[in-house]
């Protein structure tokens, strides 16, 4: 356990033991989600807490928490996505927010390709077909194929580039849509998502959440994707208008979807669950022991580096790295 004069931090929600144990060795940790009276705990520790370890999910780190912790300096968040943290507000207050990029890039990219294959070739459905004894009565119907498909990636960041690199190995043409053209990228760039959807038959979304991407994959985009279209989403569920997607699947406006993320996790719409021609995963893109331990380590390392006076390792763009 940490000494009594170690820096004090708040843990907003459960973290894997690999990270939580290290935090408790180096810091005085207050486990906010365990408090019988959350506000009372915050009042008690307000003048001592200088850091937050944020586990993601539904534990919001926003202005209300910043107000409650006036000595706060840094929020170290678990995950490459950090839409559960109001980073813009943190930046306005001179606070640092860090995330855990890079260490999960390959794992999520692998999962994206696996989910694409599972959706195109209906692998979960084929597995169920065999287990239910239906093969004894006849072969499984023919599926669609990756052959002759073209892919548009929504959000060509670290993970998007890793997905594109893997798609090249399958011989698939790749295009991308994002806020701006990337000078060092050879793939075709589309400033309009609708135009890209009209020119490809497969969309893979790796876009982060937030106001700027909310429901950018909407009914118009899905209509442009067309009846042979497949949507794969491993970014954030809020990027897709879920109601529009359900209608597009029901009406056969598009062919299928493979989803690892949803708008209101862990609640998945019953209409999606009822569909047998989609593949649904419970947000497991980075969920391997190896990768989650690497993510947890980076969360810890950001806090340790900050309090050792070395600055944050992976600050997000919205927050400044200020002199100490």
Model confidence pLDDT, tens digit, residues 134-162: 999 999 999 999 999 999 999 999 999 99
Does the pLDDT value for residue 4 go beyond 90?
no
Q: Of 1, 64, 58, give the one whose Cα is nearest residue 29.
A: 1
What is the average pLDDT score of the chain? 95
Q: How far apart are CA 29 and CA 27, in angstroms?
A: 6
Give the position of tokens 């580039």.
161
User: Catalytic residue positions?
Assistant: 236, 265, 283
Of the pLDDT bands very low, low, confident and very high (cuts 50, 70, 90), residue 324 is very low
Task: Please say whether the beta carbons of 12 and 54 come within 8 A.
Answer: yes
Q: Terminus-to-terminus CA distance in the chain, angstroms?
A: 27
Of the pLDDT bands very low, low, confident and very high (cuts 50, 70, 90), residue 297 is very high
List CB contacts of 279: < 8 A, sequence separation 6 or more. 115, 118, 119, 122, 123, 124, 256, 257, 258, 259
Q: How far apart are CA 196 and CA 153, in angstroms?
A: 9
pLDDT (tens digit per residue) in 38-75? 999 999 999 999 999 998 665 789 999 999 999 999 99
Q: How far apart are CA 116 and CA 285, in angstroms?
A: 13
Q: What is the DSSP string of 1-24?
A: ---TTSPEEEE-S---HHHHHHHH
* Structural domains of the chain sorted by starting position, each given as residue range(s) with its CATH number in brackets: 8-102+289-307 (3.40.50.720), 105-280 (3.40.50.720)
């Amino acid at each position: 356990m940490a000494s009594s004069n170690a820096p004090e931090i708040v843990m907003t929600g459960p973290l894997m033991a690999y990270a939580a144990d290290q935090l408790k060795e180096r810091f005085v940790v207050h486990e906010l989600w365990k408090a019988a009276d959350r506000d009372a705990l915050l009042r008690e520790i307000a003048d001592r807490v200088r850091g937050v370890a944020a586990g993601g999910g539904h534990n919001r780190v926003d202005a209300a928490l910043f107000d409650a912790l006036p000595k706060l300096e840094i929020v170290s968040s678990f995950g490459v996505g950090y839409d559960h943290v109001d980073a813009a507000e943190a930046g306005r207050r001179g606070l640092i927010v860090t995330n855990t990029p890079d260490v999960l890039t390959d794992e999520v990219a692998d999962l994206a390709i696996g989910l694409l294959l599972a959706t195109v070739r209906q692998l979960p459905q084929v597995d169920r077909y065999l287990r239910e004894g239906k093969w004894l009565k006849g072969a499984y119907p023919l599926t669609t194929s990756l052959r002759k498909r073209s892919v548009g990636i929504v959000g060509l960041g670290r993970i998007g580039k890793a997905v594109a690199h893997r798609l090249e190995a399958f011989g698939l043409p790749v295009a991308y849509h994002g806020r701006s053209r990337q000078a060092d990228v050879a793939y075709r760039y589309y400033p309009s998502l609708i135009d890209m959807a009209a020119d490809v038959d497969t969309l893979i979304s790796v876009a982060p959440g937030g106001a700027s991407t909310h429901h950018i994959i909407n009914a118009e985009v899905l209509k442009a994707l067309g009846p042979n279209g497949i949507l794969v989403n491993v970014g954030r569920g809020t990027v897709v208008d879920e109601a529009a997607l359900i209608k597009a699947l029901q009406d056969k406006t598009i062919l299928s979807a493979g989803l690892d993320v949803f708008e209101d996790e862990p609640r998945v719409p019953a209409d999606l669950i009822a569909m047998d021609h989609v593949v649904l995963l419970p947000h497991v893109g980075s969920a391997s022991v190896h990768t989650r331990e690497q993510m947890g380590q980076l969360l810890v390392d950001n806090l340790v580096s900050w309090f050792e006076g070395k600055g944050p390792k992976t600050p997000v763009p919205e927050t400044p790295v200020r002199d100490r």
